Amino acid sequence: MQEGATVSFPWYAVVSGADLEQGDLLDNCPVLLPPADIAFPLQTGSPPVDILTFDVVVLTQSCDLVNDKVEDVVLCPVATLTEVEQSSDFFRSSRGKEAIRRGDVPGYHMLAS
C-alpha cells in the first residue's frame, strides 16, 4: 500500500444519531455498575452505583432494537490487541493471538482491523 493511501471497508462506516444497531462500536460508553454485594429483593430507594466508561460493541440484535422488543441492550467490552497482550503472557505469544483469531478462546473474539 502506498504511503498516505486509505483503506476502504465497505462494511464499515462512521455514523451518528440515536439509533443503535448490532455491531455498533461505542467509545467511552457510560455503564452503571451496581455493588457486588447488592441484596435482592431491592429495598426501598436506589442502591449506590458506580458509573464507568468502556469502549463497547452492541450485541443485541438490530431487529429487537428497532422494534422495541427489549428493555436492555447487551454490550461487550472492546479492547485493543495491545491491551489484551498486557493482560497475559499467553496473549503476547503468537500462539495465543492465533488461538483468539481461530475462536479457540472462550470470551474473546478478534475483530478485523
Q: What are the boundaries of each domain within the chain?
A: 22-78, 79-113
Average pLDDT, integer, range 19-36: 90
Spell out where the chain has E strands.
25-33, 50-58, 75-77
CA atoms within 13 A on the CB side of 37: 0
Within 8 A by CB and 6+ apart from 37, the residues are none
Does the pLDDT value for residue 2 go beyond 50? no
Q: Which of 55, 50, 48 is nearest to 26 (CA)?
A: 55
Query: pLDDT by residue (tens digit) across 49-89?
Result: 899 999 999 999 999 999 999 999 999 999 999 999 999 99
Would the pTM of this model clear 0.75, i.e. be above it?
no
Positive or negative: CA dihedral 77, 54, 56, 8: negative
> 99 CB contacts (<8 Å, ≥6 apart)?
105
Closest CA to 81 of 49, 54, 108, 50: 108
- Predicted confidence at residue 1, as pLDDT, reads 38
Residue 6 — very low, low, confident or very high, per pLDDT cuts 50/70/90? Answer: low
